[in-house]
Amino acid sequence: MSIFLLLRQMVSSVLARFSWAALGLAVFAHFIITYIGLVLAGEQHLIEPVTFFYYYITTAMTVGYGDLAPQSAAGRVFVAIWLMVGGIALLTTVIGKTTNTIIELWRHQMKGKGSFEKHTDHTVLIGWEGASSEEIVNLLKLDETSNDNLIVICASSIEENPMPGHASFIRGETLTSPAVLARAGVATAERVLIRTGSDDQTLAAVLAVHQLQPLGHVVAHFSDTHKANLARSYAPGLECTSSMAVEMLVRSSQDPGSSVVINELLTVGEGATQYRATLATDYEGTFGELFNALKQKYNATVIAYKGPGDSAVIVNPPFEQPVRGGEFYYIANKRMAGDF
């Protein structure tokens, strides 16, 4: 190992412990001392400001075009010992520190230590259940309305982001911690989905989320219908889903093919799917008029309506049902665009 390489490694090792401010100061000091040294060595052809800057950069970065060089013995020794060795050490330190910073930022995000408190209009998935949660993320991305630029997984059961490149990650010791939920940006998210390993944990997460008064829509999944009803009583604005396996089994036995229809309506992708849309606040008419207009224009079938301020959705309302603003649910091969 040459003496110059050894010196470079020693200097680089010391500089690597510097902060960015200290490293910047070291680069500035090296630049100024190099200029002073060339002046004292009598290298007049190198000290014109633009020429010196060009010579310093090309030499320190080991490019060395050869168009400029010190002429005196003192200048050559100074450049060889101070400028070249010091410049290379500083360069490798800057590159190494930049690389380490990028890696640390990446590891910081992978370990779920980031924060999304200032983000809005994103989706938060609370809880991680392996393949089923992965399918949730994929389905969210498949539908154009939920194809968020940012999906945040908030979980305590995993150590690293399970879907890098597809979703971001926030890790906390408990999913009921206000600080953890705040870092996930729950309060400003467009939608919050809660699905954990147990109904008790889901209920606790629902209560914690409800306390943050989120601006977006919150939906939670329970296996037990009674727990789902309990969650609704504590968080009236919450939408709960529960396992319908028993009900679907009975319905399919009485009306063969029912399970196929239900699965088709809930599947995101090809085929007819259930969607939701909102009406303009000044819209007035009847359900029959809305039904016929959308059927003719979009081949969409309206199946339910909810008026402004109503707590319940009216499924299959009569044609004469007054419709004044609000929202409606429909079945179509693709989501309708535009105002209604």
CB 133 within 8 A of CB 153: yes
Average pLDDT on 129-146 reads: 82
Is residue 224 domain-shared with residue 258, that is, in the same domain?
Answer: no
pLDDT at residue number 67: 84
Q: How many CA atoms lie within 13 A of 285 on its CB side?
A: 15
pLDDT interval class at 3 (50, 70, 90): low
Is residue 51 domain-shared with residue 130, that is, in the same domain?
Answer: no
Q: How far apart are CA 268 and CA 274, in angstroms?
A: 9
Q: How far apart are CA 43 and CA 169, in angstroms?
A: 57
pLDDT higher for 62 or 281? 281
Is residue 179 domain-shared with residue 229, that is, in the same domain?
Answer: yes
Average pLDDT on 172-192 reads: 92
CATH assignment at residue 214: 3.40.50.720
Tell me whether residue 338 is in a domain.
Answer: no
CB 19 within 8 A of CB 93: no
Note down the domain range covering 220.
Answer: 123-243
CATH assignment at residue 90: 1.10.287.70
pLDDT at residue number 27: 86
Taking only the tens place, the pLDDT of each residue in 55-75 is 888 888 877 787 888 888 888
Residue 201 pLDDT more than 90?
A: yes
> Is residue 23 classed exposed, middle or buried when 0-12, 13-18 and 19+ CB atoms within 10 A define those classes?
middle
Is residue 81 domain-shared with residue 153, that is, in the same domain?
Answer: no
Tell me whether residue 117 is in a domain.
Answer: no
Residue that finishes a domain, picked among 80, 110, 140: 110
Taking only the tens place, the pLDDT of each residue in 5-20 is 565 565 555 555 667 7
Tell me whether residue 11 is in a domain.
Answer: yes
Tell me whether residue 207 is in a domain.
Answer: yes
Tell me whether residue 248 is in a domain.
Answer: no
Average pLDDT on 243-268 reads: 73
> Is residue 156 classed exposed, middle or buried when 0-12, 13-18 and 19+ CB atoms within 10 A define those classes?
buried
- pTM, two decimals, is 0.64
Summary count for the chain: helices (H), strands (E): 12, 12
Residue that finishes a domain, picked among 78, 110, 142: 110
Share of the chain above pLDDT 90, in %: 35
Tell me whether residue 57 is in a domain.
Answer: yes
Residue 74: phi and psi, rounded to 5, are -65, -40
